[in-house]
Structure 1
């Protein structure tokens, strides 16, 4: 009789978790926050942490995601100069964004520098743009990502390509601003043509 009572009490205890167990699980941290804490500790230690490995993988993905037709591709310095030029052109409203606008401007005979993103997928979206540029004698260059191009062009949406013009379509620029823009433009255009001549 005593054994049966003990067995019953043991069964009840196993079915209902004790208050200490409930309180321990309630105060236990989320496993995601624990992993974040581990990552922060590893970053402070300076070891080859998970975050660093993930960052390196992202860099490799960016390099692998480049389109096979992305030539001539701007290096770090030229890319920086080009994005600076795009930023200045966007401020002065001397910039055409997107494939439609760029193609329309080229067909209308506007001259400038065409900057194309190298990580476009599918590449069919931009394959005709370099051909149009070559036919119209417009220098063109590829940069690594469409996000960088969008940031430089003062827009939030990723941009496939932009056309940098030396003067705005409507209105006029102050002489000082126009001189700065032309100086930057001529410097980048010269480097682009030099890079293109080494390729072909």
Structure 2
């Protein structure tokens, strides 16, 4: 009986130590996310308004991942301009750390003329990673329902939530 109680106690302590390690990992990951966001802010262009905060940035990246899986994204300046000219409706996400600035400086005015909401995020590399590409991306246009397969229902709620937050900026 003495051995079985010691085994039970040691298994409990192992479980507690695993839970403690998991909580430490989660805390460390959240600190890294915050620090990465803060580290990228100095490189943002001066005209990057409205700039997404940490919470909106995280929601945007999740939305972009889901929409890219559904193939409802237009990536790059040429594709975005072409889609806007064809009267597509959606949300444009612009990277704030594009250099030279002149590459995307005309887009905010162009998007406002066409009544399309847009938002800046601090990093073009994050935008590219969210699109499941190896290259950094300066602009992205989320057009729900552009793909005929109807996969946009998977992220429709998140899209509407993000659109509300972007319109309040």
TM range (shorter): 0.7 to 0.9
Structural RMSD (CA): 1.7
Question: Which structure has the higher relative contact order (CA within 8 Å, separation 6+)?
Answer: 2
**Distance in 1 between residues matched to 2:70 and 2:96, nearest whole Å:** 25
- Which residue, 172, 177, 184 being the options, matches 2:149? 172
Tell me the residue number matched to 2:139.
Answer: 161
Q: 2:127 aligns with which of 149, 172, 176?
A: 149
2:67–2:152: 8 Å Cα contact kept in structure 1?
A: no
CA deviation vs aligned residue, 1:12-50 (integer Å, no higher than 9, x gap): xxxxxxxxxxxxxxxxxxxxxxxxxxxxxxxxxxxxxxx
TM-score (norm 1): 0.64
Cα deviation, 1:115-158, whole Å, max 9, x if unaligned, reads 00000111100011111211111110000100000000111100
1:191 matched to which residue of 2? 165
Q: Distance in 2 between matches of 1:188 and 1:63?
A: 21
Which structure 2 residue ranges, 5 or more long, are not aligned?
Answer: 1-34
3-state SS, counterpart of residue 72 of structure 1: coil
Q: Which of 45, 52, 66 does residue 67 from structure 1 map onto?
A: 45
What is the aligned residue count? 135
1:1-200 superposed matches below 5 A: 62-169=40-147, 171-173=148-150, 177-195=151-169
Larger Rg: 1
Unaligned runs of 5+ in 1: 1-55, 196-200
CA contact (8 A) 1:106 1:132 kept: no
Query: For residues 62 and 86 of structure 1, what CA distance do their matches in structure 2 show?
Result: 19
* TM superposition shift of 1:59: 7.2
TM-score of the superposed pair, with normalisation by structure 2? 0.75
